[in-house]
Structure 1
Amino acid sequence: MTAWLRCPAPRPDAAVRLVCFPHAGGSASAYHQWPAALGSGIELHAVQYPGRADRFPEPLEPDPAAIARAVVAALPADGKDLALFGHSMGALLAYEVARSLPGVRRLVVSGSLPPHIVHDQPPLWDPDNEVLVANLRELGGAGLEALTDPQLRPLVLPYIRNDLHLVDRYRHRPGPPVHFPITVLVGDSDRRAPTSRVGRWAELTEGPTRVRVFPGGHFYLDEQREAVTTAIGRELLDPMPAH
């Protein structure tokens, strides 16, 4: 185990390694229940950002490029096929890691507009606590009770704000399209990633792109976990051609 990666169910014989990037304010624990539904052919590694969970004492990292470099350096070089998954902020980070690595099998993104148009929507980050909390409540998802708990709120708001500010600071670097397939997952009522626009991920790759729509909003994957993980497992083992 490195500081950056958590592997809840080691599978030395698995052919595919899936690296999962949490959403803003999230941690590696968001993916600890996924391995059972993914199947024995996939070994999951979840990224643990600094400043939360077991890395709470560490300084927060506000630079998306620095996170991408650190994850690339932490990845084992053992010949497994590599796939990446990211939800919301995690989709942007997964893309940045994937575009810097050779031999990526597939990128699966969730709940995010593609990097080159992600700033077409208003930022969630705000320096005012009450505005920030209101934005998060509108977004939904688990863990909202911590935002109203007077003891927990001062602990969680700094790293949530850091992550949302990271998204606001993120800028897509133009470059040649990638070659690996991209699968896009989205909730049918997600206002941050409308189904009418997520197909533009296809503009970033020369490989094929699929869009899969699930019932729900921005955090549809919390309510649809079994269906989502089963779909991801099938996508990763599907021999969809790279071109």
Structure 2
Amino acid sequence: MTSSPFLVTPRPNPTARSRLVVFPYAGGGAAVFYHWLDRLPLDIELSIVRLPGRESLVDTAPFRDSQRAASHIADTLVSSDRRPVACFGHSLGALMAYETVRELRRRGGQLPYLLMLSGRSAAHVPMRREPVFNLPRTAFFAQLVAMGGMPEEMLALPELLEFVEPTLRADLAINDTYQHVIEPPLAVPFVTFAGRQDGDFPESDIARWAELTSLSFRQHAFDGGHFFINTHRDELLRWVVQHVAEYRPPLAGAAQELPELHFV
């Protein structure tokens, strides 16, 4: 795989049968997924997308639109490494995973064999909440706390808030100003994950990702709000690992039978 600051592979494993490329939620960096490393089997290599404005890229201006971000990520994913790839993204990460795969298709590049989309309404479905990225500072951070994306204790740390604010606003601008451009459905199976108590991205809106794939679709739901990715970490990861193996093309190159459309 091409070496790039936009993609972190904490434990390179060229003998792994497939790669799992994961996309963090707004404000998140590679560290969001470090705890997955010890829970993945040896035949899956984990790579984590890291956008500018965080961690080692903290001095780089963050992206504010999905197309520019997807283009840079696609640049990183295009390589001579032909191992099968599965993608997972949560919230903003789901949107970025989807747009990156569409960008790869425009380039005629290798598409992932599976796209897992978590905690975000389908790209063509208008969001239910009002934009957050352009709120005044006090209201902005209060909304993040209400959404479960920030502990309330952080409100008492003004220097930290000032440090993270530009990246958070930029990430949320990608999400809040996104306009879906109609293209043919992706010839990639979709698996989605939803929080049953997520008022901003309800199960019914997440289920509409089925309209954007020409192959199979499955959905899982968890008790919890938007950040079930943290509160139901082990259960979510079990499903991710199962699907990465289940959909992975067989070594012999034989055609793989995919599950029919259904909901779990």
Which ranges in structure 2 are unaligned for 5 or more consecutive residues? 105-109, 248-256
User: For 2:201 and 2:258, how far apart are their aligned partners in 1?
Assistant: 26
Q: Which moves more between the two structures, 1-10 or 104-113? A: 1-10
1:241 is matched with 258
Q: Say if 1:8 and 1:44, in contact at 8 Å, map to a contact too.
A: yes
User: For 1:126 and 1:189, how far apart are their aligned partners in 2?
Assistant: 25
Superposed displacement of residue 120, structure 1: 4.3
Q: Say if 2:127 and 2:201, in contact at 8 Å, map to a contact too.
A: no
Output the TM-score relative to the length of structure 2: 0.87
User: For 1:7 and 1:161, how far apart are their aligned partners in 2?
Assistant: 26
CA RMSD of aligned residues (A): 1.7
Q: 1:148 to 1:222 in 2, by over 3 A?
A: same
Q: Say if 1:184 and 1:212, in contact at 8 Å, map to a contact too.
A: yes
Q: 1:76-117 CA distances to partner (integer Å, 9 max, x unpaired)?
A: 431110111111111111001112333320100110001001
Aligned sequence identity (%): 33
| Aligned mate of 1:160, from 168, 173, 180 | 168
Superposed displacement of residue 183, structure 1: 0.5
SS of the residue corresponding to residue 109 of structure 1 reads strand
Q: 1:126 to 1:103 in 2, by over 3 A?
A: closer
1:150 is matched with 158
**Residue 99 of structure 2 corresponds to residue 99 of structure 1:** no
Matched to 2:221, the amino acid is V
Q: 1:190-228 CA distances to partner (integer Å, 9 max, x unpaired)?
A: 112111221100000011111011121100111211211
2:148 is matched with 140
Q: 1:135-164 CA distances to partner (integer Å, 9 max, x unpaired)?
A: 101110355543431220100111101111
Q: Say if 1:11 and 1:43, in contact at 8 Å, map to a contact too.
A: yes
Q: 1:127 to 1:120 in 2, by over 3 A?
A: closer
| Aligned mate of 1:117, from 102, 111, 125 | 125
Superposed displacement of residue 5, structure 1: 0.5
User: For 2:15 and 2:192, how far apart are their aligned partners in 1?
Assistant: 27
Output the TM-score relative to the length of structure 1: 0.94
Q: 1:144 to 1:31 in 2, by over 3 A?
A: farther
What does residue range 24-103 of structure 1 map to in structure 2 within 5 Å?
A: 24-75=26-77, 76-101=79-104, 102-103=110-111
Q: 1:24-82 CA distances to partner (integer Å, 9 max, x unpaired)?
A: 11111101111222211211111111111111111121121111111111124311101
Which ranges in structure 1 are unaligned for 5 or more consecutive residues? none
